[in-house]
């Protein structure tokens, strides 16, 4: 088991290794496996990349991202310009159903609302606007409203977990309440935890997934 000091060193090394990130502008503190990131970056994609990099570091249990996006002068855009660009990006993405996602922009922060049938459509909508120039952050408030009813969800998810390469299905408990899914158990990495959640979302008719899987080393 790594000490907090060792984990802090590994996290800082991982950030420094990622070319998308200016690691010199990011501070890292660690307590009992919980990593807190702070500092300033020049874009929202850089902030997002930093969080993803840290989640992949072994022994990280939780990541708290307190990094602030400070856009350089030439990246500043009006909320109207960002909103227009966001709507266009959503319209150009074939995975996002037309006229289902609404956009609100306040001081560079993009809020997505509306309803879609599948979880991947919600993710695609967020990815479509995340890298737009001038965006400081994204709040994805899109709701999942499946067009089909959930049937045999528990067994479908359990079988999907058994097929997954990175996931130890025996350590994950699947609970279902209609179209609501709750995952419990213990896994060894963020990757395994994420793969389990993706397997749950892939089941037809699922409207929400609560991922309560803990990471233990």
The whole-angstrom separation of Cα 89 and Cα 38 is 30
Strand partners, 79: none
Name the region of 180 (left: φ>0; alpha: ψ -120 to 50; beta: rest). Answer: beta
CATH number corresponding to 4-69: 3.30.1340.30
Q: What's the CATH number of domain 153-215, 3.30.300.130, 3.30.360.10, 2.60.40.790, 3.20.20.150?
A: 3.30.300.130
Secondary structure class of 54 (helix, strand, coil): helix
Helical packing angle, 119-130 and 44-55, nearest 10°? 130
- pLDDT the model gives residue 165: 66
- pLDDT the model gives residue 49: 95
- pLDDT the model gives residue 75: 76
- pLDDT the model gives residue 147: 86
- DSSP-derived pairing of the beta strands 34-41 and 62-65: parallel
How much is the pTM? 0.83
Domain ranges of the chain: 4-69, 74-144, 153-215
Across the 217 residues of the chain, what is the mean pLDDT of every consecutive 10-residue run?
A: 91 95 95 94 94 92 93 86 97 96 96 97 96 95 91 90 82 92 92 91 94 87
Rounded to a whole number of angstroms, the CA Rg of the chain reads: 19
- pLDDT the model gives residue 217: 67
Query: Closest Cα to residue 129, out of 77, 88, 74?
Result: 88
CATH number corresponding to 74-144: 3.30.1340.30
4-69 and 74-144 have identical folds = yes
- pLDDT the model gives residue 164: 80
- pLDDT the model gives residue 206: 94
């Amino acid at each position: 088991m790594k000490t907090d000091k060792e984990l802090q060193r590994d996290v800082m090394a991982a950030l420094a290794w990622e070319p998308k990130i200016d690691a010199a502008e990011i501070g890292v503190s660690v307590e009992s496996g919980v990593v807190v990131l702070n500092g300033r970056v020049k874009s929202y994609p850089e902030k997002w990349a930093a969080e993803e990099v840290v989640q992949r570091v072994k022994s990280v249990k939780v990541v708290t991202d307190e990094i602030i996006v400070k856009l350089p002068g030439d990246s500043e855009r009006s909320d109207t310009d960002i909103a227009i660009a966001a709507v266009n990006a959503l319209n150009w993405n074939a995975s996002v159903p037309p006229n289902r996602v609404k956009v609100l922009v306040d001081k560079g922060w993009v809020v997505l609302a509306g309803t879609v049938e599948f979880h991947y459509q919600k993710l695609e909508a967020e990815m479509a606007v995340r890298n737009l120039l001038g965006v400081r952050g994204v709040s994805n408030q899109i709701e999942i409203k499946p067009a089909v009813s959930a049937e045999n969800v528990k067994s479908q998810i359990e079988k999907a977990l058994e097929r997954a390469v990175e996931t130890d299905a025996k350590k994950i408990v699947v609970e279902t309440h209609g179209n609501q899914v709750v995952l419990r158990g213990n896994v060894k990495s963020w990757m395994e935890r994420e793969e389990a959640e993706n397997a749950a979302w892939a089941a037809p008719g699922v409207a929400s997934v609560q991922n309560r899987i803990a990471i233990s080393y």
